[in-house]
Chains A and B, each alone.
Chain A
Amino acid sequence: MTIFKSYSLKKKIFLAVRILIVITFLFFFLYPVFWVIQTAFKQRIDMFSLPPQYVFKPVMENFKFIFEKMHVFQWTLNSSIISLGTVVLSLIMGVPAGYAFSRVKFRGKYLLLMFILLTRALPPVIIVLPFRVIMHTIGLFGTRMAVILIDTVYNAAFTAWLMSGIFENIPVDLEEAGIIDGCTPIQAFIRIALPLSKPGLVTSALFAFIFSWNDFLFALSLTSPPTATLPLGMLSTFGMLSVGWTYMAAMGVIAVIPVVVVSLLLQRYYVSGLTFGGVK
């Protein structure tokens, strides 16, 4: 009996130490998040006090200021339009392609899939340069459309790859039965396969959203002031050091909340997309 007891006690201590170490790491990962949230509610006077103060009277004036005196509303709108546009266009391009990859064999399939995935591998700086020249030529430079178009290059490819894996796991029999019953292949895809692939659609949409919402380089290179996104706007506030970081923090909270909330709510889908479908 005593042996058993000490064994389980040892196990408990071991687990406690384990949790303690993990929490120490977690502290490192969450401190900046905590800092930006609490700074957003600080007054300027509390801002620069060292040692840092964690007990203070929270105020809303930073949020009031950034919405009244800066173009935060416009930036948020631009970010939203670009993100939603990218989600829609990426799904339109990527989902049918993923379906085709999983359902038909053809020569060059490997090469095409390779080409599609390569888009994901290349540093954005490489493509943004010629892309900007082209946008100048066709008169789209400075528009939100220009950013949507380049964001979609990255996300349509990712969607195609992800969806091909999802459709692989959906048995083909149902669609064949549908075709025997008189569906066209396109109807079989839309009415039978598509509803079954919902988890994949959610993951694809989520990643297209996170990608374009978090994008900075493409927006920096392709937008003009009226079409600037949140990250660009934020960069301009940091220069105002004289007024403190409280406005910057308030904008940071606005910029980060949508992606954090959505991806934590859809955590299952988020995690499955993170591994590129490479770990099963």
Chain B
Amino acid sequence: MQISGRRTIHLFLLPITVYLIIFFLYPVLFELYISFFDYSLGSPKKFIGIKNYLAMLKDEEFIISLRITSVFVVSAVFCQLTFGLLIAILLNHESRIMNIIRTLILIPTVFTPLVAGLVWKALLHPDLGPVTYYLRQLGINIGRGLTVERSTALFSIVMIDVWEWTPLMVIIILAGLKSLPEEPYEAGRIDGASAWHLFRYITLPLLRPTVVVALLIRTLDALKIFDIIWAITRGGPGTATTVANIRIYDVGLQHLRIGYASSLSNVLLVIGILIGVLFVNVLYSRKYGGIR
């Protein structure tokens, strides 16, 4: 849609462009620049070329944190998709009770993540947590507690992320289910297809674009995980839950090694941009019918 002779409208883009250049592009470029320096807050900076990047290759803690990040993102998003699909399909029925459930299920997604983290920390407390108590009553061996055992700490973070964000998956998939056309189902029923076949050969393929958007939204957001981990384990026990974000925060804002932290950030930046570009292209082609 276009209005002739409305060049003034171009000016509407000016505020956000200037704003993002100052407060987004400039910080990112500053980060690129400073990653070539030995720089700590308060002390003079010294140019050291690519030494920060070379140091990173030998920085076992950072490499481990990247591995933990990928394990976290993949398992959290996978569980969210599986449960999200299941719950969305069960909920896809017009009745009052389903409507009420669709509303209530939204609550975790708006729950302040840090509060969610603290609440779960209490629920999973090794000695006093109610959930710990119930799990032990059920005879499940959770050692000293889910969040304090090395082997289960990351699992408990995944579980809390699944708690918080599966409902988002449910809502997106429900919206996708609602927009499906009726005709293929009628044709399928006439041909005598079973409910499972209708689901497998009609619903799933038609739902694919929705699932792709949902997966990308969740992957991008899962890469941002910070608050819940900060509230519960701060990266521990040991490095069991130290995702890249926590590691970068520690190096940059706890130890104030800004130069080195910047070089670590840039690795994450590249990963974020790659997934982000993919995401934007999918959204853009959905909205404008192709990339121009």
Residues of A near any B CB (own CB < 8 A):
15, 18-19, 21-23, 25-26, 28-30, 32-33, 35-36, 39, 48, 50-52, 92-94, 96-97, 99-106, 109-110, 112-134, 136, 149-150, 152-153, 156-157, 160, 165, 168, 172, 175-176, 179, 184-186, 189, 210, 213-214, 216-217, 220-221, 230-231, 234-235, 238, 245, 248-249, 252, 255-256, 259-260, 263-264, 267, 270-271, 274-280
The CA of A118 and the CA of B283, in the complex, are separated in Å by: 12
Chain B residues with CB below 8 A from A136, complex form: 41
Known contacts A22-B87, A165-B287; A152 and B19 CB within 8 A of each other: yes
The CA of A230 and the CA of B279, in the complex, are separated in Å by: 33
The CA of A134 and the CA of B33, in the complex, are separated in Å by: 13
Chain B residues with CB below 8 A from A93, complex form: 15-16, 19
**Least Cβ–Cβ distance between B78 and chain A, in angstroms:** 17
Chain A residues with CB below 8 A from B223, complex form: 123
CB within 8 Å of A: which B240-275 residues: 244-245, 248-249, 252-253, 258, 261-262, 265, 268-269, 272-273, 275
Does B43 make an interface contact (CB < 8 A)?
no
Please tell me if the beta carbons of B90 and A103 are within 8 angstroms of each other in the complex: no
Please tell me if the beta carbons of A129 and B104 are within 8 angstroms of each other in the complex: no
CB closest residue in chain B, given A237: B118
Does B54 make an interface contact (CB < 8 A)?
no
Interface segment, one of B4-12, B140-148, B185-193, B198-206: B4-12
Please tell me if the beta carbons of A130 and B230 are within 8 angstroms of each other in the complex: no
Chain B residues with CB below 8 A from A110, complex form: 284, 291-292
Choice from B10, B90, B172, B279 contacting A100 with Cβ under 8 Å:
B10
- Contacts between the two chains (Cβ within 8 Å), count: 305
Does B17 make an interface contact (CB < 8 A)?
yes
Query: Given A23-B101, A122-B272, A127-B24, list of 20 further CB < 8 A pairs?
Result: A25-B87, A29-B108, A29-B166, A35-B130, A52-B133, A97-B12, A100-B12, A115-B20, A120-B276, A129-B248, A129-B265, A153-B19, A160-B16, A189-B9, A217-B249, A238-B121, A238-B231, A248-B118, A274-B172, A278-B283
